Amino acid sequence: MYAIVEIAGQQFKVEKDQKVFVHRLSTEEGKKVSFDNVLLIGDGNNITVGAPAIDGAQVGAKVLSHLKGDKVIVFKKKRRKGYRVKNGHRQSLTEIVIESIVASGATKAPKTEKAKPAKAEKAAPVKEAKKEVKVEAKKAAPKKSTAKADDLKKIEGAGPKAAEALVAAGVDTFAKLAAMKPEAISTILTDASPRLAHLVTDTWPKQAKLAAAGKWDELKELQDKLDGGVEK
């Protein structure tokens, strides 16, 4: 039996006991992880295709190790401009081993829903009471917050899409980002888009703490030691 499954924004054809290198996952080494976005399952001559995913199908795996891939050299040059830039990049990867492929009956992990605010009870239809409520509401109306959201793209490793996902989740300042754990940040990004699941957020709270305190020189020194938000 084999399956085609989406893992961290990439599609893989996997079988049981197969080892696969995927974009960095937030799961710790030695722990198990499951993937519900199974696009196709083949068992002999029986092939099941999802639309786009197969309902109830699941691929189970175990995280073996976190590592970095081979260095890729990126060299840019502009003729007659004296422009030459050479950069190196090592992609952060996770090695996993496929332990099981379930064709149906698997239950997805329930997502925690945000509590909806309780609706205010309707006031009695009395004209005098309505007038009093309107007057009190005008007096006690809170002033609109003039605070602007921070530019989260200043965090090394966080691009425009990642910044949009964080702001949409209510994390719009450096202080809020600094108070979060890397696992919680990765969960927000993965829920927003599978293409953001490969981002490594281990240093984001530390960077955000320096930015919130206005320590830009120290932040620059830290970012010079990073490669895509990951320590070199």
Say whether 163 sits in a helix, a strand or coil. helix
104 pLDDT band, cuts 50/70/90, is confident
Residue 138 dihedral angles phi and psi, to the nearest 5°:
-65, -40
The average pLDDT across 196-211 equals 88
152 vs 29: CA distance, rounded Å = 29
What is the per-residue pLDDT across 30-89, written as a single tens digit (0 to 9) for each? 999 999 999 999 998 999 999 889 999 999 999 999 999 999 999 999 988 889 999 988
DSSP codes, 99-154: EEEE-S-PPPPPPPPPPPPPPPPPPPS-HHHHHHHHHHHHHSPPPPP-PPPP-GGG
Residue 211 predicted with pLDDT over 80: yes
Whether the pTM exceeds 0.75: the reply is no
Question: CB within 8 A of 43, min separation 6: which ones?
Answer: 1, 103
Residue 212 predicted with pLDDT over 60: yes
Residue for token pair 């080892």: 19
The average pLDDT across 110-130 equals 51
Is the backbone of residue 3 left (phi > 0), alpha (psi -120 to 50) or beta? beta
Say whether 54 sits in a helix, a strand or coil. coil
202 pLDDT band, cuts 50/70/90, is confident
What is the per-residue pLDDT across 142-171, written as a single tens digit (0 to 9) for each? 555 455 788 998 898 888 999 999 999 999
Q: What is the 3-state secondary structure (H, E, C) of 128-139?
A: HHHHHHHHHHHH
Q: What is the pLDDT of residue 113?
A: 43
Q: What is the 3-state secondary structure (H, E, C) of 172-208?
A: CCHHHHHCCCHHHHHHHHHHHCHHHCCCCCCCHHHHH
List the one residue out of 56, 9, 18, 15 whose CA is nearest residue 36: 56
